[in-house]
Amino acid sequence: MMDMLQNNILFKNMSKEEIEVCIKCSQSKTREFVKDEMIFEQTDVPSALYVLIKGSIIVCKDSIEGKRYIATHIHENDIFGEVFVFLDNVTYTYYGIATSDSVVLEIPKEFFYITCNNSCAGHHTLINNLLRILAQKAYFLNNKVQLLTSGTLRQKIAKLVLESCNKDKVIKLNMNREQLADYLNVARPSLSRELINMQKDLLIEVDQDVIRILDYKRLQDQI
């Protein structure tokens, strides 16, 4: 676990010894969850920042009609729940659920408010890293708002593909078709139909979880 955490953005520029001291000093603990088990519910009061050690998790919210909206996918060595660390007297506005058997490290939120009496060498670094993460999170959410307000479904798909593709003009999705539909807040049949239409128009080529841009300029014109 220490090797994994040393490569985590939350513990950037920290030695294994500093990480171990912070985990011990903060009284952090690991918890195991089985597939489909709730990590936290919307009625829970936030008490910790989480690091996913093993497995996969989605953070969701349900509409009044019962439709699940996926806010984000959490992968191994990702952190989540960090926004709620600094919000007082609130409950979660989303819920987290394991999509496979998972192991989570819980770091009590109080550990990020002040440095402890032990003057841990890595404590200041940990707090500074969290502030950088929050800034990056705000940037990501701003981009997602722009994506969801892009207009038509084709415009949303085009914007997502253009922003996520690599230098070879290829994007490998980290979610299945249903999860992608939830992410774009559209029905799955509508998403599949539009992807087929975009292939017919020779804009993109879809092969399971890989999308290849066929005409970069024309795809830009769709936005």
Residues 72/136, Cβ–Cβ less than 8 Å:
no
Query: What pLDDT tens digit does each residue of the chain (223 aa) get?
Result: 888 999 999 999 999 999 999 999 899 999 999 999 999 999 899 999 999 999 999 999 988 888 888 888 899 999 999 988 888 768 998 999 999 999 999 999 989 887 766 667 788 899 999 999 898 888 877 877 877 777 899 999 999 999 889 999 999 988 888 888 888 888 899 999 999 999 999 999 999 889 999 999 999 999 8
Asked whether residue 118 falls in the same domain as residue 160, the answer is no
Asked whether residue 7 falls in the same domain as residue 96, the answer is yes
Check residue 116 and give its pLDDT. 66
Asked whether residue 137 falls in the same domain as residue 60, the answer is yes
Q: Is 183 left (phi over 0), alpha (psi -120 to 50) or beta?
A: alpha
Asked whether residue 143 falls in the same domain as residue 156, the answer is no
CATH number assigned to the domain comprising residue 206: 1.10.10.10
pTM summary value: 0.66
Asked whether residue 122 falls in the same domain as residue 170, the answer is no
> Where is the domain boundary, 93, 127, 147?
147
> Where is the domain boundary, 115, 147, 179?
147
What is the C-alpha to C-alpha distance for residues 79 and 49, in angstroms, rounded to an integer? 7
Check residue 124 and give its pLDDT. 87
Asked whether residue 14 falls in the same domain as residue 47, the answer is yes
Check residue 117 and give its pLDDT. 65
What is the C-alpha to C-alpha distance for residues 197 and 212, in angstroms, rounded to an integer? 14
Asked whether residue 93 falls in the same domain as residue 37, the answer is yes
Asked whether residue 168 falls in the same domain as residue 156, the answer is yes
Asked whether residue 161 falls in the same domain as residue 143, the answer is no
Asked whether residue 15 falls in the same domain as residue 116, the answer is yes
Check residue 3 and give its pLDDT. 87
> Where is the domain boundary, 94, 127, 147?
147
Q: Provide the token pair at 152.
A: 């038509």
Residues of the domain holding 166 = 151-221
- HEC string of 126-175 equals HHHHHHHHHHHHHHHHHHHHHHHCCCCHHHHHHHHHHHHCCCCCEEECCC
What is the C-alpha to C-alpha distance for residues 17 and 11, in angstroms, rounded to an integer? 11
Domain tally for the chain?
A: 2
Asked whether residue 11 falls in the same domain as residue 111, the answer is yes
Asked whether residue 69 falls in the same domain as residue 138, the answer is yes
CATH number assigned to the domain comprising residue 72: 2.60.120.10
